[in-house]
Structure 1
Amino acid sequence: MYAAVKATKSENNENFQRQGSLRRVIPSDINKDNVFDHQNTELNKVYRIYRQEYVILAEYKMIQSEDIQGVYVIPSKESSLIWFGVIFVRNGPYEDGVFRFNILLDENFPDGEHPKVVFQSEVFHPVIDLVTNKLSLSSAFPKWHKSDQHLWQVLKYIQWIFDNMNASLAHAVNKEAEKMYRNDLNAFTAKAQELVKLSKEHLYDQPQTEDKHYIMFEPYAPEIHDKVRTSMVTFHEEQFNKVGHSWVLPGSYKSLARPPTPPSENES
């Protein structure tokens, strides 16, 4: 019997040794700080993404409030760091031109470098690089400060370089365009008008991207667009003719003053 008990103990010991001890199953060098550091890193990453999306949304709302005439932008559906834009030029050598551009935000926006503006349409302009079609922002925004600079200012600058050709020469990076504008304005204007014509010819081109937020245009079709136009004009007139309720007491400049309550029949 002793031998049987001894054999059983021997088998149990052997089984235990084959399975290994807890020291071998659970590593002895667990670093709790590493676990929490990893969790904090993931949380910080999520926080940065949400914060960036919030900042970009705020930038877009500011652009809407500025109401920059003739300039339209919208963030890409695929990435909020890419914006599609188009400008309808109303003055200067490029008058009547419709030029497309993209705004590329830094991956750390609003921190990091200033946004990049790259024209998709061909534009021969002193402040637009002849090779890359990139708008030079270094003179207007030498260093991007998120507390001072905003995207609506970039759009204002895009508008400014077309409306103020003479002043924009101080920011020139395209020396060929600058030289032609200074020395032969007629030739420069003729070239600009050629590009204006070209921009209109390609206005209705199919997009090279499947992004649903890409700005597209189509020829005016009276059977479709007349109804929309009438609806928009009517809505504008209705809003203009509406008279709001006054919360100022007649004869008083006190805001939110409540008009006197009419006397009841018992009081009259």
Structure 2
Amino acid sequence: MYSAVRSSKSDASDNFTRQGSIRKVISIEPKENLFGRQNEDLNKLYKNFHQEYVILAEYKMIQSENIQGVYVIPSRENPFIWFGVIFVRSGPYEDGVFRFNVVLDENFPDSEHPKVVFLSEMFHPVVHPDTNEVHLLKAFPTWNKADQHIWQVLKYIHWMFYNLSPTIAHSVNPEAADLFANNQEAFRNKVKEIVKTSQEKIYDEPPVEDKHYLVFEPYNPEVHEQAKSTMLAQNSEEGVKCGFSWVLPGSFKPLGRPPSPDSESES
């Protein structure tokens, strides 16, 4: 009997040994820090949300600045690309309708200044002739997210079409700079060509499939007169609303606006 009992103990011991000890199942020093990975995922998620809020606040600032003749909207597919267009109302580029993209770095605002690239044909001292990118280093040599914003870049785009002389000192298009300085007639003729081209291409099909791409259509009284009347009626009312906003008026803090009453369909 003693022998049988000893055998049972031995079998039990063998069974326990085959299953392995707890130290073999769970390592004392795991190869992967699970909590560290969770923190990394949370930090990444927080960064993405924070970045979206920053971009939302930047767009709100542009609305409050009301830069005449300049219209921009972030792409529906990619918030780091904004579609823009400028209507020039006086000067050598008068009547030009020029399309451009504002391109944000993936680390924006912790990055260099945004890039501005014209999609329309362009002839300007501070627009690179090969890439159509605007030379912004003179205006924004270092990008400080606390003091500099996208609306200031758009202000510069607006300014450069109406103030050509100061741009000559930091030109990146030698031909444009030389003609402006030494042959105004030839310069104006060149500019007239691109203005005409911009007008001819204003109704072109969008080059990308994006619902936020700025599209223009020929004037249609049956459609546009009604829209015009509606807009004029809204402008005459007090407290005109300007689209959906999650930013409290007078503030640039994202999501700082309290929820709207149920009766208010727009805010």
Distance 2:231 2:184 in 1: 41
Q: Deviation of residue 21 (structure 1)? A: 1.3
The answer on 1:43 being equivalent to 2:45 is no
Q: Map of 1:164-179 to 2, 5 A cutoff?
A: 164-179=163-178
Determine the structure 2 residue equivalent to 1:24. 24
In structure 2, the partner of 1:13 is 13
What SS is found at the alignment partner of 1:84? Answer: strand
Q: Distance in 1 between matches of 2:183 and 2:50?
A: 50
Q: Deviation at 1:239?
A: 4.4
How far is 1:198 from its partner? 1.0
Residue of structure 2 equivalent to 1:230: 229
Equivalent-residue separation in structure 1 for 2:64 and 2:145 (angstroms): 18
Give the percent of matched residue pairs that are identical in Structure 1 and Structure 2: 59
After TM superposition, list the pairs within 5 Å mapping 1:180-191 onto structure 2: 180-191=179-190
C-alpha displacement at 1:184, in angstroms?
1.7
Query: 1:124–1:177: 8 Å Cα contact kept in structure 2?
Result: yes
Task: Tell me whether 1:197 sits opposite 2:181 in the alignment.
Answer: no
How far apart are residue 12 of structure 1 and its match?
2.3
Deviation at 1:39, TM superposition (A): 2.8
Report the equivalent of 1:132. 131
What is the alpha-carbon distance in structure 1 between the residues aligned to residue 153 and residue 6 of structure 2?
A: 87
- Alpha carbons 1:123, 1:133 under 8 Å: kept: yes
DSSP 3-state at the match of 1:6: helix
**Structure 2 unaligned blocks of 5 or more:** 240-267
Give how far 1:49 is off: 1.7
User: What is the correspondence of 1:207-226 to structure 2 with a 5 Å cutoff?
Assistant: 207-226=206-225
TM-superposed CA distance for 1:238, in Å, is: 4.3
Residue number in structure 2 paired with 1:64 = 63
Aligned to 2:2: 2
Q: Does 1:97 align with 2:92?
A: no
1:64-89 deviations in Å (ceiling 9; x for gaps)? 11110000011111222211110001
Distance 2:174 2:209 in 1: 36
Q: Provide the alpha-carbon RMSD of the alignment.
A: 1.9
* Structure 2: distance between partners of 1:29 and 1:146: 42
Which runs of 5 or more structure 1 residues have no equivalent in the other structure?
241-268
Residue 22 of structure 2 aligns with an amino acid whose one-letter code is L
Instruction: Write the deviation string for residues 187-242 of structure 1: whole angstroms up to 9, x where unpaired.
Output: 111111111111111111111211211111111111111111122223323449xx
Counterpart code for 2:187:
F
Query: Residue 100 of structure 1 contacts residue 120 of structure 1 at CA under 8 Å; is this kept in 2?
Result: yes
Shift of 1:31: 7.8
User: Partners in 2 of 1:236 and 1:103 — Cα distance?
Assistant: 30
Q: Distance in 2 between matches of 1:172 and 1:221?
A: 42
* AA partner of residue 126 (structure 2): V
> 1:79-127 CA deviation, whole Å, 9 max, x = no partner?
2221111000112221101111111112221121111111111101110
Tell me what 2:122 maps to. 123
**In the TM superposition, what is the alpha-carbon distance from 1:42 to its structure 2 partner?**
2.2
Aligned residue pairs total 239
Contact in 2 for aligned 1:76/1:213 (Cα 8 Å): yes
Deviates more, 1:1-10 or 1:125-134: 1-10
The answer to whether the 8 Å contact 1:92/1:165 transfers is no
Distance of 1:51 and 1:100 partners within structure 2: 29
Equivalent AA in structure 2 for residue 11 of structure 1: D
- The one-letter amino acid of 1:118's match is V
Q: Secondary structure at the match of 1:69?
A: coil
Question: Helix, strand or coil: the match of 2:16?
Answer: helix
Map Cα deviations across residues 26-70 of structure 1 (whole Å, 9 max, x no partner). Answer: 1121489x4433333222222222222222111111111111000
Correspondence list, 1:64-83, <5 A: 64-83=63-82
